[in-house]
Amino acid sequence: MHNPKTLPPADTAGDQSGRDDTEAAFAASLAIDLERARRLQRPFRQAAEVLAHVSEGALLTALDGTILWTNTAVCRITGHPQSELVGATPARFRSGRHDDQFYARMWAAIATEGSWRGEIWNRRATGEVFPEWLTISTLRSTNGTPAGYIAVFSDLTSLRDSEDALQHIAHHDPLTGLPNRTLLLDRLRHAIEHARRRQEQFSILFVDLDRFKPINDSLGHEAGDVVLRSLAERLSTRLRHADTIARFGGDEFVVVLDPDPDENSAAQVALDIVRLLGEPVDVDAHHRAAVGASIGIARYPDDGRHVSELLQHADTAMYSAKEAGGGTWRFYRKALTEAARRRLRIQEGLRRAVDEQTLTAHYLPLYCTDGARIMAVEAVARWTHPELGSIPPAEFLPIAAQTQLIRRVGALVRSLAFPAIASLQRASETPLDLILNMHQRELADPDCVPHLVYLSREHEVALDRIVIDVREEALLRDARQVAPQLHSLAERGVRFVIDDFGTGHLSLANLLRLPIHGLKVDRTIVRKLPADADAKTLCSLAAEIARRLNIAIIAEGVETSTQLDSVAELGFQAWQGFLGTAALPLSSVHPLLPGNRSPQPEP
| Residue 422 within a domain | yes
Q: How many domains does the chain have?
A: 3
| Residue 5 within a domain | no
Same domain, 154 and 94: yes
Letter for the amino acid at 430?
T
Same domain, 233 and 311: yes
Choose the final residue of a domain: 278, 297, 332: 332
CATH number at residue 77: 3.30.450.20
Predicted local confidence at residue 168, as pLDDT: 67
Q: How does pLDDT run across 364-419, given as a tens digit for each residue?
A: 999 999 877 899 999 999 999 999 999 999 999 988 987 779 999 999 999 999 99
Nearest to 492 by CA among 452, 451, 459, 464: 464
Element (H, E) at 214: helix 213-219
| Residue 600 within a domain | no
Q: Decide if 122 contacts 94 (C-beta within 8 A).
A: yes
| Residue 349 within a domain | no
Pairing of strands 202-209, 293-300: antiparallel
Choose the final residue of a domain: 160, 189, 221: 160
CA distances (Å), origin 313, targets 192, 228, 253, 317, 335: 15, 24, 15, 6, 11
Is pLDDT above 80 for 170? no
> Long-range contacts: 442-446, Cβ < 8 Å, 24+?
442/406, 442/407, 442/410, 442/411, 443/468, 443/470, 443/474, 443/478, 443/481, 443/482, 443/485, 443/486, 444/478, 444/481, 444/482, 444/485, 445/407
Mean pLDDT of the chain: 85
CA distances (Å), origin 204, targets 78, 215, 354, 363, 508: 47, 27, 37, 46, 42
CATH number at residue 300: 3.30.70.270
| Residue 352 within a domain | no
Same domain, 254 and 326: yes
Full residue range of the structural domain in which residue 262 is found = 172-332
Same domain, 285 and 369: no
Averaged over 47-52, what is the pLDDT?
Answer: 61
| Residue 337 within a domain | no
Same domain, 456 and 583: yes
347: burial class by Cβ within 10 Å (0-12, 13-18, 19+)? middle
CA distances (Å), origin 243, targets 202, 256, 481, 505, 550: 10, 6, 40, 38, 58
CA dihedral 328, 332, 335, 340 (to 10 degrees): 80
| Residue 252 within a domain | yes
Same domain, 213 and 132: no
Q: How does pLDDT run across 427-479, given as a tens digit for each residue?
A: 888 889 999 999 988 988 888 899 999 999 999 999 999 999 988 776 766 66
Q: Angle at which helices 334-356 and 307-323 pack, to 10 degrees?
A: 80
Which residues, in sequence order, are CB contacts of 159 under 8 Å at separation 6+? Answer: none
Q: Decide if 245 contacts 184 (C-beta within 8 A).
A: no
Q: How does pLDDT run across 106-120, given as a tens digit for each residue?
A: 999 999 999 999 999
Same domain, 558 and 436: yes
Predicted local confidence at residue 247, as pLDDT: 93
Full DSSP string of 119-165: EEEEE-TTS-EEEEEEEEEEEE-TTS-EEEEEEEEEE-HHHHHHHHH
Task: Tell me the pLDDT band of 1, cut-offs 50, 70 and 90.
Answer: very low
Full DSSP string of 353-375: HHHHT--EEEEEEEEETTT--EE
Same domain, 147 and 182: no
Averaged over 557-569, what is the pLDDT?
Answer: 94
CATH number at residue 567: 3.20.20.450
Predicted local confidence at residue 510, as pLDDT: 67
| Residue 346 within a domain | no
Nearest to 279 by CA among 294, 297, 293: 293
Same domain, 208 and 128: no
Same domain, 364 and 472: yes
More confident residue, 507 or 107: 107
Same domain, 154 and 179: no
Q: What is the pTM of this model?
A: 0.56
Q: Give percent of the chain above pLDDT 70.
A: 86
Same domain, 323 and 376: no
